Amino acid sequence: MTDLSTRSVVTGDGGRDAASARPTRRRRISPKARAGLWTSYLILIGLALIYIYPFILSIAASFKTDADATQNPLSLVPETVTFAAYERLFTGVPFTLWFGNSVLVAVVVTLGRVFFDSLAGYALSRLKFRGRSMVFVFFIGVLAVPGVVLLIPRFLILQQVGLYDTYAGMIIPLLSTAAGVFIMKQFFDSIPVSIEEAARIDGAGQFRTFWSVVLPMARPALVTLIILSFQGSWNELGHFIVSRQSPELNTLTTGVASLVSGQLGSGNQFPLQLAAAVLMTIPVAVLFFIFQRRIMNTTAGAEKG
């Protein structure tokens, strides 16, 4: 619908004026439009400051003393630059352990999702088997389940199967998502089937074909899946609240959350908390900046709603 109307407008008007309009467009930018552009810049720069300043301020404050951070909340330059907060993070708080746990969980979950989701997505897209549409409907249905109502159910099942408070319990439930399966299926739907057919005619088995012919072709989709899986499991909080209780199994999210609520006697020590927030943001930030173009073209990112 939308598209049709778009086109008719374009041809109806643009067609008539195209020849004369194009060459003159540059000159037309003159006073009024330029004023508009400047207002745009002003609005954007103002907004960008609002979005960026909190982060810069936080980084600055993590190098301040507790008193300095409280008394000069707006200053970007510490009175004296101190690494005390970072030192405490690594000596007084098991931050390294949390970091290690987060890395472990995020890496395993990402690898698992890439493998299981593409396997299932490929089967749903390409392989004929009885019950395929049923499986597909199952995944579509599961997509609608809001994550936040899974807290109690996940705890119950982990207790029931004896995986509560283990790495396995933290990792296995996250190893596959309906959305990941769906992405991969959509991707396989969109690429031509001819290359695999050639491989099949050469006598390669289903898994061989998948592993050495199809998967390498799916790189764009896999990169998307990797980025989002890593980001998602790195930032995951709810599942790690209900799947474990031992302090040794804290990830960065649960660990830093305990810092905030002052469980470790860190009540109002802003530099310490901010240093933790800065360090836990670095891996996703690096990922974000490396794949920036791809992410911004593509993802909707994690929503905090």
Partner 1 sequence: MTGTASGSRRGGGIRRGEARAGWLFVTPAVAIVGVFLAIPILLALWVSFSDWNGFRSPLNPNVNFVGLDNYAAITTDTGLDQRNFGRAVRNNLWYVVFVVPLQTIVALLLAVQVNRAVLRGRGFFRTAFYFPSVTSTVAIVVVFQFLFTASGAVNAVLGFFGINGPNWFNDPSGVFHNILAAVGVTSAPAALAESGPLGVTWWEWLAGPSVAMSSLIILAIFTTSGTFMLLFLAGLQNIGAEVDEAARMDGAGPVRTFFSVTLPMLRPTLFTVLTLGLIGSWQVFDQIYVLGGSTAGGTITTPAFLAYQTSFDDLKWGQGAAIAFILFVFIILLTLFQRWVLRERDPKGMGRGGRRAGRGGAADPRRHEPDAASAAVGADPADRALLTGADAREDGDAGPRDGSRS
The enclosing H or E element of 166 equals none
Distance separating alpha carbons of residues 7 and 302, to the nearest angstrom: 34
For the purposes of burial, counting CB atoms within 10 Å of the CB of 130, is it exposed (0-12), middle (13-18) or buried (19 or more)? exposed
Near partner 1 by CB under 8 A: residue from 81, 92, 132, 195: 132
- Which of these ranges, 82-90, 91-99, 103-111, 128-136, lies near partner 1 under the rule CB under 8 A? 128-136
Determine contact, residues 243/154, Cβ cutoff 8 Å. Answer: yes
Show the DSSP H helices in the chain as ranges.
Answer: 2-9, 15-28, 31-62, 66-71, 84-91, 95-126, 132-143, 151-160, 167-171, 178-190, 194-201, 206-208, 215-217, 219-235, 238-242, 252-260, 270-290, 292-298
Near partner 1 by CB under 8 A: residue from 3, 23, 27, 31: 3
Complex with partner 1: residue 246 or 297, whichever CB lies closer: 297
Per CB under 8 A, contacts with partner 1 among 188-207 are 188-193, 200, 205-207
Per CB under 8 A, contacts with partner 1 among 151-180 are 151-157, 159-161, 172-173, 175-180
Complex with partner 1: residue 31 or 305, whichever CB lies closer: 305
Per CB under 8 A, contacts with partner 1 among 220-279 are 220-221, 224-225, 227-228, 231-232, 234-235, 237-238, 241-242, 252-253, 256-257, 260-261, 268, 270, 273-274, 276-278
Distance separating alpha carbons of residues 256 and 98, to the nearest angstrom: 9
Contact status: 27 vs partner 1 (CB under 8 A): no
Near partner 1 by CB under 8 A: residue from 83, 147, 198, 202: 147
Per CB under 8 A, contacts with partner 1 among 68-87 are 69-71, 73-74
Distance separating alpha carbons of residues 305 and 289, to the nearest angstrom: 23
Say how many residues touch partner 1, by CB under 8 A. Answer: 143
